[in-house]
């Protein structure tokens, strides 16, 4: 990774990491806010009917909701206003969410029972700010900045996967009030789950059945079928294919696959990271061009689990 990493501690003990595109950048600004230490009560409960772990984090009801631009907590700090980012400017920043669903610091939950077991909501939730420009968009960023973001997501995937108790790392971006965003500043999030997310678990079970009955990777088979058909392919670059799935669940849905069987973003080589950027820009520009307006969307990176069934997974967006 070419970006320079600088770690600092925010006023309430959370970690913030600057990723600077200029190696000579120095980060000396201090978070001078008088913030209380973050107290998080998070737990996970297993739904006996669906067989899925569900996160309970009621403190998130108090998170910031659609503030005006002049009060945005993701913009750089100014002499008259301190934000989550102490510096007066930045390239890409990652920090622990002030209102996390999962955390490394939480009290044990009340005892569950055999029907609905409970566990501490141990994990990590991070915010990824793509740019200091409040009015920008992910797809509108420069090629160089998007390449930095890909490196950052890969770096965070690698580091979070090494945390004790983490079973899956899940980067995503939501855009648009229609989707439910609470902050308009261009940003994404990363969840380090203490379990494998339900959708991933279902896909892995299908992949296991495919491997046992036919052999090989189910995701690779899906990609090969789409490439042969060609009718739903919307874009390609070296080592990547974007296509509308044959059984699309939404009116507007595109999947982006690497042609190489890879578990996660950290496994991408430099050439694959370079080639991903123009394809992402192309797909997002097509979405925005549909109605000549910014398209609300959910962009989610499905990565293989950290431990069990890792060989069954195949990175895709």
Which among 195, 217, 196 has a CA at the least distance from the CA of 206? 217
- Clarify whether 187 is annotated catalytic: yes
Answer for the pair 95, 125: CB distance below 8 angstroms, yes or no.
no
- HSE-CB at 297 with a 13 A cutoff on CA atoms is 26
Residues 185, 187, 255, 316: which is the catalytic one? 187
d(CA 74, CA 129): 7
How far is 101 from 44, CA to CA, in rounded Å?
A: 10
Q: How far apart are CA 133 and CA 156, in angstroms?
A: 22
Closest CA to 77 of 31, 110, 123: 31
Give residue 205's Cα distance to chain centre. Answer: 23
For the CA atoms of the chain, what is the radius of gyration? Answer: 20
**What pairing do the DSSP bridges indicate for beta strands 52-56 and 4-9?**
unpaired
For tokens 């009621």, name the residue: 58
Q: Which value, to the nearest 10 degrees, does the dihedral of the CA atoms of residues 218, 300, 290, 234 take?
A: -30
Question: Token pair of 305, please?
Answer: 């689990």
Residues annotated as part of the active site = 187
């Amino acid at each position: 990774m070419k970006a320079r990493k600088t770690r600092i501690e925010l006023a309430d003990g959370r970690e913030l990491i600057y990723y600077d595109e200029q190696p000579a950048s120095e980060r000396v600004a201090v978070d001078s806010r008088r913030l209380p230490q973050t107290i998080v009560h998070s737990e996970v409960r297993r739904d006996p009917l669906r067989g899925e772990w569900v996160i309970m984090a009621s403190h998130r009801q108090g998170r910031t909701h659609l503030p005006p631009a002049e009060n945005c907590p993701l913009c750089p700090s100014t002499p008259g206003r301190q934000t989550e980012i102490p510096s007066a400017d930045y390239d890409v920043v990652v920090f622990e969410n002030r209102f996390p669903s999962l955390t490394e610091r939480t009290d044990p939950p009340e005892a569950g029972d055999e029907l609905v077991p409970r566990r501490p909501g141990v994990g990590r939730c991070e915010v990824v700010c793509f740019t200091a420009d409040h009015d920008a968009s992910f797809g509108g960023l420069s090629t160089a900045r998007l390449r930095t973001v890909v490196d950052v997501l890969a770096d965070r995937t690698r580091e979070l996967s090494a945390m004790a108790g983490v079973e899956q790392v899940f980067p995503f971006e939501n855009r648009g009030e229609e989707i439910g965003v609470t902050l308009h500043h261009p940003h994404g999030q990363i969840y380090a789950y203490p379990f494998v997310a339900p959708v991933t678990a279902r896909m892995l079970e299908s992949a296991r059945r495919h491997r046992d009955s036919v052999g090989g990777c189910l995701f690779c088979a899906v990609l090969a079928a789409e490439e042969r058909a060609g009718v739903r392919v919307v874009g390609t670059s070296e080592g990547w294919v974007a296509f509308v799935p044959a059984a699309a669940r939404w009116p507007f849905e595109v999947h982006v696959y690497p042609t190489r069987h890879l578990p996660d973003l950290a496994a991408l080589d430099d050439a694959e990271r370079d080639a991903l950027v123009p394809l992402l820009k192309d797909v997002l520009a097509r979405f925005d061009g549909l109605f000549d307006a910014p398209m609300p969307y959910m962009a989610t990176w499905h990565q293989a689990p950290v431990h069990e069934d890792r060989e069954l997974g195949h990175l895709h967006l």
